[in-house]
């Protein structure tokens, strides 16, 4: 007899300033290729990444590749609707894109919350790490602090060009989404069955906050 397969479909946002590498990260992750040519995304693009999560679970990530220039428009509220996780990307060679990370995070958190009022899990990607960027990156502790202060569940140095940490970041985000989903379920169960029951908070992830 065949065991029934569980399927999850998650809408994931990929946001960050112009040219930081969002489309390239998605291309690397979904199609295993990379192009050095830059063609700005207009509006939003979509891609589907399928992960064989474990023996009986398939996870489908619907990746929403939102153009960097959309931060200045008023469509993000529409694009964010019903997303369940996010990557916020910056380019380690351009400090202004790191400053914009907070603006993206604020935009996201002000327009999107889960049904229990918490923010969706967001992972910070320091992209183009093949370019060096020691100045910004050799202080992992500072990045960890930044993540804690700004509500990121984890951060990764990535390179779409060299295929560094792209899969690891996706796995980490999915782990946090699954944890936040089970928190939501617990909250629902405890509010309908036993109002006194507290939902356990356990969203730690072995891939996160590497020192
Ligand atoms: P918008 O669509 O305008 O928001 O930009 P984007 O964030 O989608 O950037 P895109 O992926 O188009 O990449 C911009 C440029 O950076 C392209 O020329 C890419 O080839 C380059 N790039 C992307 N990722 C990397 C990387 O990891 N390393 C290096 N060296 N270049 C990269
Ligand atoms: Mg793009």
Q: Angle 166-192/22-31 helices, nearest 10 degrees?
A: 90
What are the tokens at 78? 């529409």
E strand map for 16-82 = 44-54, 57-66
For the four alpha carbons of 67, 25, 87 and 54, in that order, the dihedral sign comes to positive
Residue of minimum CA distance from atom 5 in ligand 1: 19
pTM: 0.89
Please work out whether the CB of residue 159 comes within 6 Å of at least one atom of ligand 1. Answer: yes
Q: By three-state DSSP, how is residue 77 classified? A: helix
Q: By three-state DSSP, how is residue 191 classified? A: helix
* Residue ranges in the chain whose pLDDT is less than 50: 194-207, 210-211
Please work out whether the CB of residue 121 comes within 6 Å of at least one atom of ligand 1. Answer: no
Please work out whether the CB of residue 165 comes within 6 Å of at least one atom of ligand 1. Answer: no
CA of 21 from ligand 1 middle (Å) equals 3
CA of 85 from ligand 2 middle (Å) equals 18
Alpha carbons 88 and 48: distance in angstroms, whole number: 18
Look at residues 117, 183, 122 and name the one whose alpha carbon lies nearest to residue 147.
Answer: 122
CA of 35 from ligand 2 middle (Å) equals 12
Residue of minimum CA distance from atom 28 in ligand 1: 128
Give the position, in ligand 1's atom list, of the atom nearest the Cα of 37: 18
Neighbours of 28 (CB within 10 A): 21
Please work out whether the CB of residue 180 comes within 6 Å of at least one atom of ligand 1. Answer: no
- Return the bridge partners of 124, or none: 88, 155
- Per-residue pLDDT, 195: 44
Please work out whether the CB of residue 18 comes within 6 Å of at least one atom of ligand 1. Answer: yes
- Per-residue pLDDT, 192: 64
Answer yes or no: are the C-beta atoms of 180 and 153 closer than 8 Å: no
Answer yes or no: are the C-beta atoms of 14 and 26 closer than 8 Å: yes
- Per-residue pLDDT, 201: 41
- Per-residue pLDDT, 133: 61
Please work out whether the CB of residue 21 comes within 6 Å of at least one atom of ligand 1. Answer: yes
Answer yes or no: are the C-beta atoms of 68 and 22 closer than 8 Å: yes
Tell me the CB-side half-sphere exposure of residue 71, using CA atoms within 13 A.
18
CA of 14 from ligand 2 middle (Å) equals 9
Q: How many residues does the chain have?
A: 211
Alpha carbons 209 and 153: distance in angstroms, whole number: 8
């Amino acid at each position: 007899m065949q065991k029934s397969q569980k399927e999850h479909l998650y809408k994931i946002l990929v946001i960050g300033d112009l040219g930081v590498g969002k489309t390239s990260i998605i291309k690397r992750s979904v199609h295993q290729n990379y192009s050095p040519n830059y063609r700005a995304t207009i509006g939003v693009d979509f891609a589907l990444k399928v992960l064989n999560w474990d023996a009986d679970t398939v996870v489908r990530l619907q990746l929403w590749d939102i153009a960097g220039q959309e931060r200045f428009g008023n469509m993000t509220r529409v694009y964010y609707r019903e997303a369940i996780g996010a990557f916020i990307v910056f380019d380690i060679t351009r400090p202004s894109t790191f400053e914009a990370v907070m603006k993206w995070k604020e935009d996201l958190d002000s327009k999107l919350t889960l049904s229990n009022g918490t923010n969706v899990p967001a992972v910070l990607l320091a992209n183009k790490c093949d370019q060096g960027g020691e100045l910004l990156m050799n202080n992992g502790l500072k990045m960890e602090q930044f993540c804690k202060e700004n509500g990121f569940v984890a951060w990764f140095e990535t390179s779409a060009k060299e295929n560094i940490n792209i899969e690891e970041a996706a796995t980490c985000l999915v782990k946090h989404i699954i944890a936040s989903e089970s928190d939501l379920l617990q909250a629902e169960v405890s509010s309908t069955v036993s109002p006194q029951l507290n939902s356990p908070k356990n969203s730690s992830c072995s891939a996160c906050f590497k020192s």
